[in-house]
Amino acid sequence: MGQNEIEAIRALLGAKPRPIGWSERRQRLDEVGSVSPVAADTSLDSVNCDGVPGEWSLAPGSDSSRVLLYFHGGGYCSGSILSHRRLVTEAGRAARMRTLAIAYRLAPEHPYPAAHEDALTSWHFLRRQGIPADAIVVGGDSAGGNLTITLINRLRAAGEPLPASAWLISPWTDLTMSGITLDTKDAVDPIIHKAYLNELADAYLPNSLDRNGPLISPLFADLRGFPPTLIQVGSAETLLSDATRFAAAAGSADVDVRLEIWPHMIHAWPLWNAKLEDGRRALMTAADFVRAHLPSR
């Protein structure tokens, strides 16, 4: 059953190949990401996070005093609240907590550090709502995983309280593109390839920036003091090395880190949880992890 389901997702992606223009690419990701609607029992509310658009979601039985702050993927150039709504809302249901999805500014119209500024603004917005840092989980997929890590690193550098944990799905941690699986998994990954990543990085980063910098490629950051972290990645994706090397770097820095490599899964597979059992299972294991690291009441 699992193999049939992931093949159906591959077929969906193959039926909508990536177009050339940025607006067309954004529309395509919105379409493939939102192929399944949000559950009817989930409440959705738009919110202005001090100038950054966001969306609250709350499933029945969830604790509104605990929040998953989520940053969508899309290579810093696409992705939206719409494309990731099913993923975010079902993650909140599984973890029994409220979610806040963030529509940070996208490149090339808004290159680095616009997304980072919006991430920090959304964090401070949450804190001003009276939500304690240790009642917040920060998560993201792909570039959103990168943004999750760099936000936490900025908070550490500023001496601010940190979230209870971090949740990374298929994180893009190395914008120098030195991971070996960019080559070894190229033939099996239906979404992410080195030339595409280089195009995204070129659009996102001014030429003067060093791609080795820790706020650009958090694989190379000092991770000492980083909060407990769950990394979920598929075995069939080119960013596998980005995940495994980041897990090793975190572990070497004495971070409480768990790495899950899901067989046959593709980039950011929990997006399609409505039609993919392994997507739903990944959300449940993530929920168990984040709840285990929230303070008891």
Q: Is the pLDDT of residue 297 over 80?
A: no
Number of Cβ within a 10 Å radius of residue 214: 16
- Kindly report, residue by residue over 106-130, the tens digit of the pLDDT: 999 999 999 999 999 999 999 999 9
Is this structure's pTM higher than 0.85?
Answer: yes
State residue 2's pLDDT score: 65
Element (DSSP H or E) covering residue 82:
none
Element (DSSP H or E) covering residue 24:
helix 22-33
259: amino acid identity, one letter: L
- Kindly report, residue by residue over 171-201, the tens digit of the pLDDT: 999 999 999 999 999 999 999 999 999 999 9
- Kindly report, residue by residue over 45-71, the tens digit of the pLDDT: 999 999 999 999 999 999 999 999 999
Model confidence band, residue 16 (pLDDT cutoffs 50, 70, 90): confident
Number of Cβ within a 10 Å radius of residue 198: 12
- Among candidate residues 105, 53, 39, the one with its CA nearest the CA of residue 74: 105
Tell me how far apart the alpha carbons of residues 282 and 297 are, in angstroms, rounded to a whole number: 26
Residues 6+ apart with CB under 8 A from 98: 56, 57, 58, 62, 63, 64, 65, 66, 67, 68, 92
Residue 72 DSSP label: -
